[in-house]
């Protein structure tokens, strides 16, 4: 069609403004909302996957936790006994705590 088309005048009167910041802002707001929805959906999906993995490995995790707690329990007792002996030795050698007379005589 040529520019002399009589309908062209009608169509030109019907055109939207070339620049419309309001429209751009509205679109970008919707884009920001959509991006947030995607981020939330991704986070929810990741949480669901982690939950499912933990659920599948539940028995293995329970075994590990129980076994570890037993092993660590013994280790903690040994460490506590060693620490107590070390403190006592330190006080005895440095005389930083007043000792009973019979202990002093022994030393």
Partner 1 sequence: MSTQMTDAALVGAARSGSDTAFAKIVDRHQQAVRSFLRRVCGHEADADDLAQETFLAAWTALRTLDEPDRIRSWLFGIAWRQAKGMARSMSRTRRRETDWQAERPEHDQPGTELNIAMQQALAQLPADQRAAIALCLAGDWSHGDAAKILEMPLGTVKSHVLRGRARLVEILGVRDDEH
d(CA 96, CA 107): 14
Cβ count near 84 (within 10 Å): 10
User: Cβ 77 to partner 1, closest distance in Å?
Assistant: 56
d(CA 95, CA 104): 10
The 17-46 contact track toward partner 1, x by CB under 8 A, reads xxxx--xx-xxx-xxx-x------------
User: Cβ 23 to partner 1, closest distance in Å?
Assistant: 5
Q: Which of 16, 60, 78, 107 binds partner 1 (CB under 8 A)?
A: 16
User: Cβ 44 to partner 1, closest distance in Å?
Assistant: 18
Q: How far is CA 10 from CA 2, 7, 15, 21, 70, in A?
A: 14, 5, 9, 25, 87
Q: Which two tokens stand for residue 12?
A: 């030109």
Q: Is 90 in the site for partner 1 (CB under 8 A)?
A: no
Could you list the residues that contact partner 1 (CB under 8 A)? 1-2, 4-11, 13-20, 23-24, 26-28, 30-32, 34
């Amino acid at each position: 069609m040529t520019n002399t088309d009589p309908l062209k005048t009608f169509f030109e009167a019907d055109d939207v403004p070339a620049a419309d910041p309001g429209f751009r802002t509205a679109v970008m707001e919707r884009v920001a909302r959509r991006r947030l929805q995607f981020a939330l959906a991704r986070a929810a999906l990741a949480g669901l996957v982690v939950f499912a993995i933990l659920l599948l490995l539940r028995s293995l995790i329970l075994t590990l936790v129980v076994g570890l707690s037993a092993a660590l329990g013994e280790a903690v007792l040994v460490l506590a006994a060693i620490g107590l002996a070390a403190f006592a030795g330190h006080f005895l050698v440095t005389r930083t705590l007043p000792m009973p007379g019979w202990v002093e005589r022994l030393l």
